[in-house]
Amino acid sequence: MDSTRQTNSNASKTNKLYERGERTRRGILETSVDIASAEGLEGLTIGRLAKDLGMSKSGLFAHFGSKEDLQIATINIAREIFVEEIVLPIIDMEGGLKKLLAMLENWISYVERNVFRGGCFFFAASAEMDDRPGKVRDFVAELTNAWVIALEDEIKQAISLGEIDKSTDVDLLVFQLHGFVQEANWFYRLHERPEAFDYARKSIQQVLKIYSTKKGMEVLES
């Protein structure tokens, strides 16, 4: 027997097993991200997840050693989905005010379309974890901070293009824009008021008009 072929065949078998494992893992995590968005990361126990998936607890333990591992893996998938829904569709777009508007619009739309059963995953995770020190909290803070910085960078880009006035307080503006989308999420999830999305869109336009130059106004009105 050709030992090279045997090795190749083994490698291919391992690969297939690995791929199947990855597919199972992703499937498990898509369920867990949905549970966590609605019922919280703390509600995400291996027992609860096993019941929802009709899997054995020991089968799940093979994928995730602890509740914390499961929580971190779940947040990672939520991040992937966030990037797929909000960032990737506009990855090739030129920077500046138009891209800033697209980032915000994609974010609003992802809440409006209920991409996660429980609304914005990171809004729910933030409120839940903010007072629970540890790895999970730090990871949620790191990711939400990365999104704030991405919005800030786009504002800075718009300033350098002369679309937003250079005297703008970037931290204040990002606080306002970010806050409008979070408020829409809050208002819609708790009070079931879909007009919240319209309010967020109008508020974003209104606030950006305060800071826009003539060139920026053309972008806002286009």
Residues in contact with a second copy by CB under 8 A are 37-40, 42-43, 117-119, 123-124, 126-132, 137, 140-141, 144-145, 169, 171-172, 175-176, 178-180, 182-183, 186-187, 189-191, 195-196, 199-200, 202-203, 206-207, 210
DSSP 45: -
Q: How far is the CB of 47 from a second copy (least distance, A)?
A: 15
Nearer to a second copy, 96 or 121 (CB): 121
Q: How far is the CB of 188 from a second copy (least distance, A)?
A: 9
Q: How far is the CB of 195 from a second copy (least distance, A)?
A: 7
Contacts of residue 27, defined as CB under 8 A and 6 or more positions apart, other chains included, come to none
Nearer to a second copy, 25 or 201 (CB): 201
* CB atoms near residue 213 (< 10 Å): 17
Q: How far is the CB of 147 from a second copy (least distance, A)?
A: 12
Q: φ, ψ for residue 164 (rounded to 5)?
A: -120, 140
Contacts of residue 118, defined as CB under 8 A and 6 or more positions apart, other chains included, come to 34, 36, 37, 38, 39, 124, 189
Nearer to a second copy, 30 or 42 (CB): 42
Contacts of residue 213, defined as CB under 8 A and 6 or more positions apart, other chains included, come to 162, 163, 164, 165
Nearer to a second copy, 55 or 72 (CB): 72
